[in-house]
A and B are shown apart, each in its own frame.
Chain A
Amino acid sequence: MLAELFLTSSYSLVLSALMFAVGAVGLLVRRNPLVMFMCVELMLNAVNVTFVAFGADLNDVGGQLSVFFVLVVAAVEVVVGLALVVAINRRRPDASVDDVSLLRG
């Protein structure tokens, strides 16, 4: 029976849904901004898995192209986000995300 199994996109989609849900819960639960960014990375990777699965399914390289752009945007997001974390932490050490809800100083 096992020999008849072959990889369909449903496997990837279920995996992607699980990854996305774990990342979303982590984003909601954690208070450390760095860990929250890591959870955002988890969610982005879940979407990348979906893109690759659909691209393989439809025999279209556009899915992989989308992943390429998502990677670039993720890198940009991390750079700007970590710069924000550094800037906030320089002015107010020990700030958690709840302390910086005012968008000033």
Chain B
Amino acid sequence: MSEVITFLAAAAVILVGALGVVLARNPVHSALFLIQTLLGVAVVFIVQDAHFLAAVQVVVYAGAIVILFLFVIMLLGVDRAEDMGVDPVAGQKPLAAVVGAALLAGALTMVLIATDGATGQRQVESPTDAMFEQRLDNGLTDIERIGRVLFTDGLVAFQLTAALLTIAVLGAVVLTRSVRSSDLLADREPATFDLPAAAPDGANDEHHAASEGQTEGDEQ
């Protein structure tokens, strides 16, 4: 019963945080609400005996991903309030509400149709699986169980994950690397390049100056 109370409290925290992410006008507030949601999810993991994942959730999500969000928000200076009143695409918000309600109704129907446990099958029953689980289960903590499965059954996926992380780092570096002005002029069509009239501040001034000079030359 204490589990249920803990779960319900965490669920309330999670849902308030989720609504805060969507409704907050300022992106910084959204990020802070996201931290609230992620910590609530960590509590839900703990209630279900996934202690390792709870720790990873706090360290990786709240500690790294949200900090990365906040870092980019501060770096770009986009921490202004968004005007939620404007609706550039007509009827977008009602349509979004309909889609969300349909998603929720579908998911809840699927959950509530299956009265007991929602899977219909309580346990994996094949003998090899049972033997495997028994071998893995005796006295091991969840982190040891995850480690064993990760480095046996999930070994290929684990290696692919390593490749994925490397590719992502390379991609991030390539995407955000500062472009030299000669490259900028060579690979872009300046007439279609919609620069603001004045560069906002001194940042990237050679970059902006070169592009603007080219744009003006084309217009003349």
Contacts and interface: CB of A to CB of B under 8 A. Distances in A.
A86 B21 contact: no
A79 to B, nearest CB: 5
Given A60-B124, A61-B136, A68 B53 contact: yes
Contacts of A55: 48, 50
A29 B220 CA distance: 41
Given A32-B27, A105-B193, A41 B34 contact: yes
Contacts of B90: none
Interface in A1-24: 2-24
Interface string A69-102: 1011111101110111111011111100010000
Contacts of B182: none
A22 B22 contact: yes
Contacts, number: 250
B139 interface: no
Interface residues of B, number: 94
Interface residues of A, number: 79
B118 A61 contact: no
B3 A38 contact: no
B96 interface: yes
In order of increasing CB-CB distance, the 5 nearest A-B pairs are A26-B22, A17-B107, A28-B96, A25-B100, A21-B104
B194 A92 contact: yes
B88 interface: yes
B110 to A, nearest CB: 8
Nearest to B168: A76
Interface in B13-41: 14-15, 18-19, 21-22, 27, 30-31, 34, 37-38, 41
A38 B34 contact: yes
Contacts of A8: 116-117
B65 A10 contact: no
A83 B176 contact: yes
B31 A79 contact: no
Interface string B153-187: 11001000100110011011001100000000000
Give the residue among B65, B193, B196 with the most A Cβ atoms within 10 A: B65
A34 B74 CA distance: 12
Contacts of A31: 82, 88
